[in-house]
Structure 1
Amino acid sequence: MPWSTSDRRQRLPRNWRHIVARIRRRDKDRCQVRLADGSQCPNSYGAIDHIRNDDDHRDENLRVICDPHHAEKTGKESAAGRAANRRKQQAKFRRTEQHPGLVG
């Protein structure tokens, strides 16, 4: 998510820096994403990730994630958001009644 168009920074708690430091220590600065074979990603800290895409800043919803995995996750979340917005826009223009030529 580009910070330039996001209000995410304003929604972070005042003690965010302390939370980041605590999560980095807990996760030993190592990406917590599990690979397809079940092993842990060997990459190191890139960002603190909200596991569920919300404003839950509790430790159990936060983890260290490497930049490649963060970019992948963000891309998937962005694509899902765009698709949901498209569906919402399309729903505005759906006919609620049957076309007159099809009324039988």
Structure 2
Amino acid sequence: MSWTSSNRKGRLPVGWTALRITVLKRDRFTCQIRGQGCTAHATEVDHIQPGDNHGLENLRAVCSTCHSRKSTSEGIRAKARLRALRHRPADRHPGLLAQE
């Protein structure tokens, strides 16, 4: 993952490296997503529920392919939500307003 456009790294807790290793060992360095194109060898740690909950119950070991796919789909959904908020309803035709 590229950290250049993200503030995620700064929000990780002190001791993230040790926590990351704990999760990887717990999951036996095996990807817990196992999606299409999965390499099965986990090298990254993923938050199951998005946000800043860094509890062990919310972390899982994943391969870089599955992590990339999941992060991309989360980003696409977030952009869609923002786009929906910007959408203005179409102005009603003035002639139709008089008929209501």
Shorter-chain TM-score range: 0.7 to 0.9
Partner of 1:76: 73
* Runs of 4+ with >3 A deviation: none
Aligned residue pairs total 97
Query: Where does structure 1 lack aligned partners over 5 or more consecutive residues?
Result: none
Contact kept? 2:34, 2:66, Cα under 8 Å: no
Aligned residue number for residue 9 of structure 2 = 9
How far 1:34 moved relative to its partner? 4.6
Alpha-carbon distance in structure 2 between the residues aligned to 1:34 and 1:24 = 15
Consecutive unaligned residues in structure 2, runs of 5 or more: none
Structure 1, residues 3-52: CA drift from partner, whole Å, max 9, x if none? Answer: 1011101100011011011101101111111559xxxx661123100001
Where do 1:1-104 residues align within 5 Å? 2-34=2-34, 43-90=40-87, 93-94=88-89, 98-103=92-97, 104=99
% identical equivalent positions: 34
Q: CA deviation at 1:2?
A: 3.2
- CA 1:42–1:3 in structure 2 vs 1: closer, same or farther (change >3 Å)? closer
